[in-house]
Structure 1
Amino acid sequence: MSRFNNLSHRQQGLLLTGGGAIIMAPDALLIKVADLPDAEILMWRGFLSALGFLLIALMRYGRGTLAAYRRCGWTGIAVALLFSLTSCGFVLGNQYTKAGNVLMILASAPLIAAVLSWIILKERLPGRTWLAISLCMVGIAMIALDDVGAGSWVGNAFALMAASTLAINFTLCRTRPGVDMSPMLVFNGIIVGSVAGLFWLAGSETTLPTVNQLSVVVLLCLIILPCGVTLLQRGPLYLPSAEVGLLLLLEVVLGTLLAWWILKEQPAPVALLGGGLVLGTLLAKGLYERRLELRQRAALQLDSPITADRSSTL
């Protein structure tokens, strides 16, 4: 933890958000591997993730857990509701259309977040961020190019709902600087699980998943989802919401690569080129901003002795 604290504010944000995106990479793949009906996968995802989020909150805050919830206030409730819509949109989008369509639409989240931050929070993003967002969206479009014609409008609509609510969520978190909203994700799980459970009970068949399906669901919903989303939800504490969304594209590209590898899907050359464009853009942006940060530190170190000398002569 001491090494983490020694990092700059921006570096901490990059580490948390990037780590969360990498952890979440198998999400879409495991949803398809589980191969469960809509209501059932959402019910398990909701209740198991709620348990995982609660365990993480208890480990992080201990006796101060209730105080952490109170700090979130009404904004935290809105965050929980928004993330419930994001979860439903992402899962149902993958159920009703090809993954490429969902990923391409999800790639619009950084742009939506950037516009919202610019309008609501008056955050001015540098030109390099807008350029990186544009290049990444082109790359994701190239990944999904051979799937575009096969998608269902229902699945595309769910994916757009996921992208929009995720962008609003990140922007809303920026309105409460310094307040960690990740404990509120417990309520997101309870909301999704309860609503989906009602639909599951009302269905004609209420069979339980097989052992293999249940093991995949437990891995995804009790471990991967709570750990990854908790890190992502803390991202807006350190970075502008547009940059959090930009780093989220790591999940998009790595998730697609995992699907190609595990499901033995043969990627088109244009899709490989698109993935390389996204990863290359994120890498170039990160290296450039790291260089700027080092220059700023060096300038501050040069100025501080001068300031000290002037103060000693007064």
Structure 2
Amino acid sequence: MTHAQAVWTMVGCSALWSMAGVVTRQLDHAQGFEVTFWRSLFTLVSLLIILPLWQGKDFWRSLPWRNPYFWISGVCWSIMFTAFMVGLTLTTVANVLITMALAPFFTALLSWVFLKARLPLRTWVAIVLAGAGIAWMYGSQLSLNDPNFVIGTLVALCVPLAAGVQWTFLQKSQSKGPVDLVPSVLLGAVISSLFMLPVSWPLQGSAHDVSLLALLGLFQLAIPCVLAVICARVLQAPEVSLLGMLEVVFGIALAWWGAGEAPQMSVLLGGSMVLSALLMNQYLGWKDNNV
């Protein structure tokens, strides 16, 4: 995969990830932990079909059980799967997505500490500009006096923290020699499903709810998460994180259009700053690569 192909693939992944908020708002009965359980379960089922078909009959024997990065990555995926959906049931889509957009800051910091990465100036400038946009958006949400804002934000904060660890150690694992961490997405789904089932019982979701969460399991998690891991072999960790921030813009727009969660003007302006920072970073990256 070329750099340009990886960039566009990550844009597509962000678009698929952004479905979660608007689809969750269409549920009838499923709430809280049950929502997370069903989505993780269907992600697991989807990957049990997709990965062996894609990687062949030796898939199970090739799993890197003894590789610590495999387990680190799997735990990170499980935290991201769980905290995101629980956060959505506690506060607005915009609050969760804005909090998630802190991922590039954590990723850049962890890359600097653990990988001794020397990031291009353009990437640092993009992070600063995107951070300003996030702060603007975040400030507007504080004024809404959402009673669940604090707990919802704290839960959602686990997502960018886990993402920062994920992308940093995924890149570090490649420097130690080629290792396939795509199956770690499957491991994450297993862990999330096992931990969510006891706290979700008794299950109350309707057939309508389960079908929507099955849709999320396949198209919002299984497919884009596998593609994101592949992209991370080509892109730098902070670059993956920055492109993943497009989910903020896409997700708020979809929640506005499909669920009636209209954001304030400051949220729209802040989102524009985030998008502009991403476009600037990628344009300068392509320009440097073509010199």
Paired with 1:137 and 1:170, the residues of 2 have a C-alpha distance of 19
Task: Give 1:241's aligned residue.
Answer: 237
Deviates most, 33-42 or 224-233: 33-42
What amino acid does structure 2 have at the position aligned with 1:169? Q
Which runs of structure 2 are paired with 1:4-19 in the superposition (5 Å)?
Answer: 8=2, 10-19=3-12
Q: Which residue of the partner structure matches residue 33 of structure 2?
A: 39
Contact 1:179 1:237 in 2 (8 A): no
> Could you tell me which of 38, 53, 58 is aligned with 1:59?
53
Shift of 1:227: 0.7
| One-letter amino acid of the counterpart of residue 191, structure 2 | I
Q: 1:118 aligns with which of 109, 112, 115?
A: 112
The residue aligned with 1:311 is none
- One of 247, 252, 274 as aligned partner of 1:278: 274
> Residue type matched to 2:19 in 1?
P
- Give distance in 2, aligned partners of 1:12 and 1:179: 21
CA distance in 1, matches of 2:85, 2:66: 26
Q: Normalising by the residue count of structure 2, what TM-score does the alignment of the two structures yield?
A: 0.90
Partner of 1:185: 185
- After TM superposition, give the deviation of residue 283 of structure 1 in Å: 1.8
Q: What residue is the counterpart of 2:288 in the other structure? A: 292
In structure 2, do the counterparts of structure 1 residues 233 and 28 end up closer, same or farther at CA, with 3 Å as the change threshold?
Answer: farther
RMSD: 1.9
**Does structure 1 residue 216 correspond to structure 2 residue 221?**
no
How far does residue 67 in structure 1 lie from its aligned partner after superposition?
A: 4.4
1:114-156 CA-partner distances (Å, limit 9, x unpaired): 1111110111101110111111122233334332242532211
Whole-angstrom CA distance in 2 between matches of 1:220 and 1:172: 26
| Inter-partner Cα distance in structure 1 for 2:105 and 2:66 | 26
**Could you tell me how far apart the structure 1 residues matched to 2:77 and 2:214 are?**
20
Aligned residue pairs: how many? 284
Which protein, 1 or 2, shows the higher relative CO under an 8 Å CA cutoff with sep ≥ 6? 2
Change in Cα spacing, 1:124 to 1:188, as seen in structure 2 (3 Å) is same
Whether the aligned pair in 1 keeps the contact of 2:25 and 2:259 (CA below 8 Å) is no
Output one character per residue of 1:166-192: Cα deviation in whole Å (capped at 9) or x when no partner: 110111111111323121211211111
Confirm or deny: 8 A CA contact 1:107 1:163 kept in the other structure. yes
Cα distance between partner residues in 2 of 1:72 and 1:184: 12
The amino acid across from 1:19 in the alignment is G
Corresponding residue for 1:198?
198
Larger CA Rg, structure 1 vs 2: 1
- Secondary structure of the corresponding residue to residue 265 of structure 1: coil
Of 32, 41, 49, the residue aligned with 2:43 is 49
Task: Output the amino acid matched with 1:30.
Answer: V
Conserved in 2, the CA contact under 8 Å of 1:82 and 1:165? yes
Q: CA deviation at 1:213?
A: 1.5
Match of 1:169, SS state, is helix
Please give the secondary structure, in 1, of the residue aligned with 2:232: helix
Q: Which residue of 1 aligns with 2:21?
A: 28
| Deviation for aligned residue 1:261 | 0.7
Q: Which amino acid in structure 2 is aligned with residue 188 of structure 1?
A: G
Q: Do structure 1's residue 254 and structure 2's residue 250 form an aligned pair?
A: yes
In structure 2, what is the Cα distance between the partners aligned to 1:43 and 1:231?
22
- 1:183-234 deviation per Cα after TM superposition (whole angstroms, max 9, x unaligned): 1211211111111111123xxxx24422322221111113331011111222
Q: Deviations over 1:231-264 (max 9, x none)?
A: 1222321111111110001111101100011112
Amino acid in the other structure paired with 2:33: A
Provide closer, same or farther for how the CA distance between residues 72 and 31 of structure 1 changes in structure 2, counting only shifts above 3 A.
farther
For 1:192, give the aligned amino acid.
Answer: S
With 286-295 and 238-247 compared, the bigger mean Cα shift is at: 286-295
- Segments of structure 2 that go 5 or more residues without pairing to the other structure are none
Secondary structure of 1:290 counterpart: helix
Match of 1:264 in 2: 260
- Correspondence 1:232 to 2:228: yes
Alignment of 1:149-168 (within 5 A): 149-150=145-146, 151-168=148-165
One-letter identity of the residue aligned with 1:225: L
Aligned partner of 1:170 in structure 2 is 167
User: In the alignment, residue 97 of structure 1 is paired with which amino acid?
Assistant: T
| Cα distance in 2 between the residues matched to 1:200 and 1:55 | 25
One-letter identity of the residue aligned with 2:167: F
8 Å CA contact 1:113–1:242 kept in 2: the answer is yes
Aligned-pair identity in percent equals: 26
- Give the TM-score normalised by the residue count of structure 1: 0.84
